A and B are shown apart, each in its own frame.
Chain A
Amino acid sequence: MRDKVLIGYGQGFWGDSILGPVRLVREGPLDYLALDYLAEVTMSIMQKLKGRNPRAGYATDFVAMLQRTLPDITRKGIKVIANAGGVNPEACLEAVLDLAKKQGIRGLRVGIVEGDDVLARVPELLRNGHPLANMDDGRPLSAVQDRLLSANVYVGGFAVAECLAAGAQIVIGGRLTDPALVAGPMIHEFGWGRTDWDNLAAGTMAGHIAECGAQCTGGNYTGWREVKDFVRIGYPIIEASPDGTFVVTKHEGTGGLVNRNTVVSQLLYEMGDPKRYLGPDCTADFTSAKVEEAGPDRVRLSGIRGGPATPTYKVSLSYHNGFKTTGQLTVSGPDAAAKAKLCADIVWGRLALDGCTFAAHEKLVEIVGAGVCHAGITESRDPPEVVLRLGVKCDDEDKVDRFGMEIVPLVTSGPPGVTGFAGGRPKATDIVGYWPALLDKTQVQTRVRVEVS
């Protein structure tokens, strides 16, 4: 057993900078490269793409990233763990094998983890007494069942470890949890068992810290003035040990900052009850961790306690929930905010003249620049200019499109100083509703498969 394993996290979400993984692979030692490509909305988009093309429905960015990094990855023997498979890990596997072939790389072992996608099984699960009720408000799934777009179980680190044990150098999953991409390699390397709650909690916590990429290395840090060289910001590396302690760090010579504050900031990100962080492998107690600085850009965590996992998996379902659009205009001073407010009233008034009305909760008016993000806290009475953002949402697509037609006319038929209209008429887009639910673990069997280029 190795006494230290280096796990880099190169992608915090689909759309993160490709420089993250490229530089993690090139600029220092690394054993594993973890990459997250999924969010709740992503799965529904991928289902749609797969519906149109059975070879689509995975994160194509992952393949583009490998195109640049695969030579280094194979030469250095770095293992890659990604949930890039989306709703079609099989197609992602083939794309990666094709790429390896094109690059003349032979013997690359690529594995997939399947079994998280339960969309086709929803009717059967409901029949067998698994209600998949909404975790937040208790509504039965029947409320949206005819509009479902995706349904995926959050799979944990043991499935990743199983795929690694089967010999994969590249592990492609569907809805693997973000922390599982880090906990999985630790389980594999250190032989942690299913009831090693403290170690599993440490793996989960390490994954939580790293899962948003540069958000633990100086990104989005409210002490941002301390951060040097954002341009060359280093993505995080977890230096893991078999006893469950780990160090958060980054490659030497990279920009950014790792200290107690940047790590604690990220520990608190999207946090609920810090005593009970629920994951598929364990329950982690974030209040048990000792967080200490251990040299420049090194923070050690130890003493992490965990407890048994719950008997259920979390399931992320998405469904079609109407239409929305937003449009914007820039309004200059003098009296920018007052004129923007008038513009908004004109739009709603003209729509009403044409029989098109929206309920209060279906409309949005934001006067960006006058205090939108911090409404009621920091506001400006008379900014030199503002951006007026207007939006609507409802079940009627035509009404949403009708709204989109009344924004640009303000340039010539409203108060003076209205400009900045670009991008054409805003069009209705689908609203994807998010439906979190629980499913008994006995109902889900993950499978792994490894193929060789």
Chain B
Amino acid sequence: MKSIEKLLRKFEPEHDGKWAKLHPVWDAFYTFMFTPDKTTTSGSHIRDGIDLKRTMFTVVVALIPALLFGIYNTGHWHFASLGETTAYWDMFGDKFLYGLIRVLPIVVVSYAVGLGIEFIFAIKNGHAVQEGFLVSGMLIPLIVPVDTPLWMIAVATIFAVVIGKEVFGGTGMNIVNVALTARAFLFFGYPTMMSGNKVWVGELSENLDNNKVVDGFSGATPLGDLASFWSDEPTFSSLADFSEHWTLLDSILGYIPGSIGETSLIAIGIGAVILLITGIASWRIMLSFFAGGLLMAFIFNQTATNPFMELSPLHQIALGGFAFGAVFMVTDPVTAAQTNTGKYIYGFLAGLFAILVRVFNPAFPEGVMMAILFFNVMAPLIDHYVIQANVKRRIKRLKIKQA
């Protein structure tokens, strides 16, 4: 260890030397390898063992089950579209390998581009490279459709990091979730390419052009099929047909097409358990988000005017990005409400709106992203009223005293 440290120290740029500007870059590598020897100078002499690196790393670990499942699921739907497989767990090696070949580049591009920008801003502004993007860089690949071109991922990442984060002052200062900004950019920036049914399954459009796709395979996600109930030509004639094709169990296990990491409730659930045990994510937000979503789905279920609304609440939240959003997106501490009371309100309303937007926006068959982005913006307002209540209590106490 000592020799590694000595070697690293040899490359340290002088603070006033020629390469002083590059000090943050060196610092990022050094602090990655070694927790510095810096000691407390004022206040509490001992400090908690946790730091931001450990926090972010824990979230990345929690994302790994979803990533692994996403890789396999990508492979399955590719081969399913070609008609080479029907059972979920056969051709394991081929499916996993195909998924790996498709997903890994997206992860690499997302990290390389995002971290590159972080380094550029650190050099430009002379501050340390903060760890925020470690998580964003993993989230972005998991919430995009697998057929998103790599250059689009790069452009979206640049947009999200620069406009979503750096212009507000970097890690800890952003208003909206960085990964969701990237996704929103993709969906609104390239609507013709990103909407429709063809992006969710690997190489589907090319294979369609070459007539390699098995008959009747549309590539549509369950949500896409549900949204078609609003149109004149629904994919399924009734909800029963739909539920037979896309069963609740399928969506819990994740045997459905969708964005790379969002499909399996089991994989996301493992991540949720890690985040809740370690105390990194707020259980208040997670719980209330599910509560909000279930309530809205229940209301629709009771007042249904079409099969989409009729869908059972449980099935409703098991579909699409709802669970992924609940565990990894809405709980982002920087963009969520920061007061404990505010967290309940924020999570609940975001969950409510996620289902509301999903059901009543046929043009766009997923509402979770929109709802979370919207409540990211609303979170400071929620906090404001929570804090004002606290302030008013204090003023009231003074008034009682004076009266």
Q: Do A and B bind each other?
A: no
Which of B's residues lie within 8 Å of A, judged by CB? none
Which of A's residues lie within 8 Å of B, judged by CB? none
